[in-house]
Structure 1
Amino acid sequence: MTQTDDGPRQRRPRGPYAKSDAVRAGILDACLEVFAQFGFRGTTMKDVAARAGISHTGLLHHFPTKAALLDAVLRRRYDDAAGVIMAVPRRDVLAAQARVLHENTAQPGIIQLHTIISAEATSADHPAHDFFAKRLDDFREYLTRAFEDAQAEGRLKIDAEPEQLSNLYMAVQDGLQLQWLYNPGAVDIEQGVRIFLSSIIEGDLG
Structure 2
Amino acid sequence: MRTPSGASVREIAKRAGVSHAGLLHYFPGREALLAAVLGRRDERDAARFGPGDASPTALVERFLDLAGHNARNPGIIELYVRLSAEAFAPDHPAHGYFTRHYADVRRFAHSALLGLERQGLLRRGIDAWAAAVSVVALMDGLQVQWLTSPAEVDMVGSLRFFAGQLMVAPTE
- TM-score scaled to structure 1, two decimals? 0.72
Who is 1:164 aligned against?
130
Q: How many residues align?
A: 167
Measure the CA separation in 2 of the matches of 1:52 and 1:72.
Answer: 14
Q: Which runs of 5+ in 2 are unaligned?
A: none
Measure the CA separation in 2 of the matches of 1:94 and 1:107.
Answer: 20
- Say which of 80, 83, 94 aligns to 2:47: 83
Larger Rg: 1
SS in 2 for 1:155: coil
Measure the CA separation in 2 of the matches of 1:156 and 1:139.
Answer: 19
Q: Tell me which amino acid in the other structure corresponds to 1:167.
A: V
- TM-score scaled to structure 2, two decimals? 0.85
Using the TM superposition, give the Cα deviation of residue 105 of structure 1 relative to its aligned residue in structure 2, in angstroms. 1.5
| Superposed CA offset, 1:47-75 (max 9, x none) | 213443555356457x4532552343122
Who is 2:36 aligned against?
72
Measure the CA separation in 2 of the matches of 1:58 and 1:138.
Answer: 31
Using the TM superposition, give the Cα deviation of residue 165 of structure 1 relative to its aligned residue in structure 2, in angstroms. 0.5
Q: Give me the identity figure in percent.
A: 32
Measure the CA separation in 1 of the matches of 2:105 and 2:32.
Answer: 23
Who is 1:16 aligned against?
none
CA RMSD, 1 decimal: 2.2
Who is 2:142 aligned against?
176
- Say which of 118, 121, 125 aligns to 2:87: 121
The 8 Å contact of residues 126 and 166 in structure 2, kept in 1 or not, is answered as: no
The 8 Å contact of residues 177 and 189 in structure 1, kept in 2 or not, is answered as: yes
